[in-house]
Amino acid sequence: MYWNLAHLNPATASQFQWVYGITPMSDLTVIYTSWVVYFVSIVSIRWYMAERTRIDRSHKVLVFYNGSMILCSVYICMTASYSLWQTVNKEGQFFTFCHAVQYARYPQYGGYMFYSMYQYYLIRYYVFLDTVILALRKASACGGKSIPFLHWYQHMFIILMMWSWLQDQSIFGSIATSIISFVQVFKYLYYFCNCTNIKSKWIKSAAVLFQVIQFIVAIALTAYQMSLCPQSNCVLLSASINITMVYMVVKYYENSEGAVATTREHYKRRNSNKNIHTTATV
């Protein structure tokens, strides 16, 4: 495996080209290995934290992580949006093609677009820390005690989807990157405010609203791409992931009340068992 680290240099972003096996982290084995490490790490952390006190939400590690994610998301959003705006203004017909290589003038305008996508692809490995934090906090993304499968699925397969956009040089991936990074700014801003005890009700409302809009736009954009380039591998993969995520979101919220009730019953039984054990010991 030989990686050309020059591909990481932002000074040459205008000439960026994704090359499988040469661009750092472009090998599929990296993704598969990261999944294994991710899963084993979270299971191990949850096992380790089972009898230990969870970390506080104002812990400096959480503050640093959320703050760094805000900065990364703002940077990627700005660079992706600027390159997208420049391309739309100068080469509007660029978006009538499925893949950048089909467009003769792609090398002149595509570098910054795909470099922004590549940056976001790399950031997704850092975002695995979302789940690490949940495990250390002994919490779930929605306030429960277990981490829902939807959370695992989203964190694992978005990386694969981003990889497919870069591998197939999907033009529409640049639009998605701008939208996703914009939404992430508000998402991590809310988490940061929560860590630092800053009132953030309006930020939470904005984050939820933008996530809903992002979800709708993702489905619409995927549907449009399916009509434009139905044989594209990255479009088929994106469609599959989006459809399964819609299904899991619906099922998750359908079962949420039952899950809460089950958790409460489990909590009561556990406390009851503790009381019985204490009485017997005394």
The tens place of each residue's pLDDT in the chain, 282 residues long, gives 689 888 888 888 888 888 999 999 999 999 999 999 999 999 999 999 888 888 888 899 999 999 999 999 999 999 888 888 877 777 666 666 666 665 556 656 667 888 999 999 999 999 999 999 989 988 765 555 678 888 888 899 999 999 998 998 887 788 889 999 999 999 999 999 989 988 878 888 888 888 888 888 888 887 877 777 766 777 788 888 878 877 777 776 666 544 443 444 444 554 554 443 443 333
Question: What is the domain count for the chain?
Answer: 1
Cβ neighbours for 169, distance < 8 A, ≥ 6 positions apart: 18, 99, 100, 101, 106, 110, 114
Domain carrying residue 271: 5-281
Predicted local confidence at residue 147, as pLDDT = 81
Q: How far apart are CA 119 and CA 72, in angstroms?
A: 9
Assess contact for 160 and 34: CB atoms under 8 A. Answer: no
Structure tokens at 259: 């899950």
Assess contact for 170 and 129: CB atoms under 8 A. Answer: no
Structure tokens at 198: 């800053």
pTM of the model: 0.81
Q: For 234-243, which contacts have Cβ atoms below 8 Å and span 24 or more sequence positions? A: 234/161, 234/164, 234/165, 234/167, 234/168, 234/170, 234/173, 235/98, 235/170, 237/160, 237/161, 237/164, 238/161, 238/164, 238/165, 241/157, 241/158, 241/160, 241/161, 242/218
**Amino acid of residue 68:** S
